[in-house]
Structures are given as structure tokens and as C-alpha cells.
Homo-oligomer: A and B are copies of this chain.
Amino acid sequence: MSNTREKIIELADQLIRTKGFNAFSYADISAPLDIKNAAVHYHFPNKADLGIAVIEQEIARLNDGIHQWKKLSPDARLKKMIAIFQQRYKQRTICLVGSLTPDYDTFSPAMQQKVQEMCKGILDWMADCLEEGREAGNFSFEGDAYDRALMVMSNLMSSLLYSRVLGGNIFGRMSKQLSKDLI
């Protein structure tokens, strides 16, 4: 098993979060790993293949988390999700959804589908979490759980974007407020 492949995916993930998918190049990957750009093409024939691999890794990690958190209460699960974003906030990076959805129209159909899959997965999970929490009395909110999930994920995503641009503890303020709003 080559771990070059995994290193490429990890680096591409970082580059997508910092520069965006369309702004990073094969050289941005081959140079730091001290390999030739042809080696990157060996593992990922074209850029979309690499993008898809990065998204699939993210989906897999998300599913891992979901599986591990299954026995936690809905509000503990929400905290876990917020903690993931907090980690990103500390690293000064943004989430994949926030990085990839603005460039959606420039992607190949296969990659668009993966972006869609990632978005749907996170939103469905959050909607389930919120609905279960409401039924169990952990959460209290008005309206459809899916609409609320859209708003919560929207706030988490944007908190990272705004934090990077405006500085200050915008992530802390937004995550605190969105948690309060659900009680």
C-alpha cells in the first residue's frame, strides 16, 4: 500500500480549504511531497478524480463520526459536530462545503454529484439529530427540523468564513448563540 496516495489526498484537502479547488495546481502537491507531477497523475488521472477522492474521504470521516456518536444524546452529538468546526476554526481553515459549493458550476458532473452527496449527508444527519432532540426534550425550536438543520449548518460554515475575513472570535459567538437558540 502506497501512502503517497493518502498524502496527496491530505494535502489536496488542505489546499482546497485554503486556496480553493480551482486555485491550487498539481505543482502545489508534487513540490511539498518531493515527487513529480506525473506521480500525482498516476494516482489521480485528472483533477476531478483528486477532488472526488478528497470529498469521499470527508464523507467517510463523517460517517465514522456518526457511527461513533450513535449512543450519545442528540445535544452531545451536536456538540461533537460543533467541536469539528471549532478545530477548523483553530487551524484557520474552512469546511469543504464552504469551499466547494461556491465553485460548484465549474466542476465536472461526477464531482458535482459528490459535493451534493456530502451536503445531503451532513444535512440529513443534522436534521435527524435535531428532530430526535426535539422529541426527547433536549431541543426546542420552531418549524421543520430540516429547515433548522440548514440554518445550523449554514451558521457553522459561515462562522469559519467570517472568522478568517473579520478576525475576532466570530466562531465562538456564533456557535454559542446557535446552541442557545436550540434550548
State the A residues within 8 Å of B (CB). Answer: 18-20, 22-23, 94, 97-99, 101-106, 112, 115-116, 119-120, 123, 142-144, 147-148, 150-151, 153-155, 157-159, 161-162, 164-166, 170, 173-174, 177-178, 180-181
Contact = CB atoms under 8 A, between A and B. Distances in A.
Contacts of A157: 154, 158
A107 to B, nearest CB: 10
B162 A158 contact: no
A161 B98 CA distance: 9
A116 B165 contact: yes
Contact of A104 (B119, B164, B173, B178): B164
Interface centre among A97, A115, A158 (most CB of B within 10 A): A158
Nearest to A164: B104
Given A23-B106, A102-B98, A103-B23, A174 B162 contact: no
Contact of A103 (B20, B101, B144, B170): B20
Contacts of A18: 105
A102 B94 contact: yes
